[in-house]
């Protein structure tokens, strides 16, 4: 029974791999210019939000406190 299951799994795996190769051959391998532009816009928007959060008063004070505590640590 083990050999039958193994043979069926092997056949199924081979069929899935060949189907993936056929699908991959029919589509583009990379992004188009508009997708790059949208990716850049999303990255810049994320960077702006992160900058605003990090430079806000509460977060900035907390980060300064962490750095001060780390520099004042004694061994």
pLDDT of residue 48: 94
- According to DSSP, residue 31 is labeled -
Give me the pLDDT at residue 19, please: 63
Collect all residues with Cβ–Cβ distance below 8 Å to 59 and sequence separation of at least 6: 53
Of 21, 1, 24, 22, which is closest to residue 9 (Cα–Cα)? Answer: 1
For 26-59, the pLDDT digits (tens) are 665 666 788 888 989 999 999 999 999 888 888 8
- pLDDT(1) > 70: no
| Percent share of the chain, pLDDT over 70 | 75
């Amino acid at each position: 029974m083990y050999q039958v299951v193994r043979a069926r799994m092997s056949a199924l795996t081979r069929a899935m791999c060949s189907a993936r190769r056929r699908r991959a051959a029919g589509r583009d391998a990379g992004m188009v210019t508009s997708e790059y532009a949208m990716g850049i816009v999303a990255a810049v928007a994320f960077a702006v939000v992160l900058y605003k959060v990090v430079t806000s008063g509460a977060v900035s004070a907390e980060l300064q406190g962490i750095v001060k505590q780390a520099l004042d640590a004694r061994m």
